[in-house]
Amino acid sequence: MSTVDYALDDGIAIIWLNRPERLNAVVAELVDDLLEALDAVAKSDARAVVLAGRGRAFCAGHDLKEPTPEGDSRSRLDRLQDVTRRLRGLRQPVIAAVHGYAIGAGAEFAMGCDLILAAEDAVFAFPEVSLGLSVTGAASRLLPLLVGPLKAKELLLLGERVSGAKAHELGLVNAALPADDLMDTALDWAGRIAAHPAAAATMAKRALDSGIDSSLDAALELEVSHALITEHSAEVAASAEAFRSRI
């Protein structure tokens, strides 16, 4: 795995997104590597997981500097959504440790986790509408559950950035911390979870997710349908070209 690092120590698995030169922006290789790491966790004796990002960001969303891949768009979108499915399908609770940017797909990766810790100065945003795109990582289902439907529409329709501290006020994250304390706290929480009987932690996760995930597949399918409509639009082509011209 060249774009994701994976380690297991004393019952805690740590997965690092590792494209720091691109702020861990999403490309197909990163999705493949992340799914491989999640599969390794599923087969391991880990009792808790921390998902974090190397460098200056958690994940800055899709890498708009890269051209839209050719081939079957549905297959690629399903593969991306598999990240949310695998995160939620793991028997181990997963903690997202978010610093720097968590934009678009990056914010969706975080929401796929069971708990979210954020640096106070982290930056969350859902810019898809402003780019002519559709959300694809179950944000249409998970975001309203976390912040309420009105605030979810505000975040999606306006696309404004919110800090980690504001995200905590909204209920988007469990806690906002000084950046220097983020990983220590994430590992502390993971250690506390790992100290509990593993079967009980799994059952608690399953029970809490059972009602949420009953509608998750329908949300993911609708997101793919919308993404297939928007992906090759003139608006998306223009916004992508405008982004590339700024780099």
The active-site residue, picked from 66, 120, 128, 160, is 128
Torsional class of 99: left (φ above 0), alpha (ψ -120 to 50), beta (otherwise): beta
Distance CA 141, CA 184 (A): 30
Query: Is 43 strand, coil or helix?
Result: helix
* Beta-sheet pairing, 115-119 with 175-177: parallel
Whether 29 is catalytic is: no
Whether 108 is catalytic is: yes
Describe the chain by its helix, strand, coil percentages, rounded to 5. Answer: 55, 15, 30
* Beta-sheet pairing, 12-17 with 4-9: antiparallel
The active-site residue, picked from 70, 108, 169, 235, is 108
* Active site positions, annotated: 108, 128
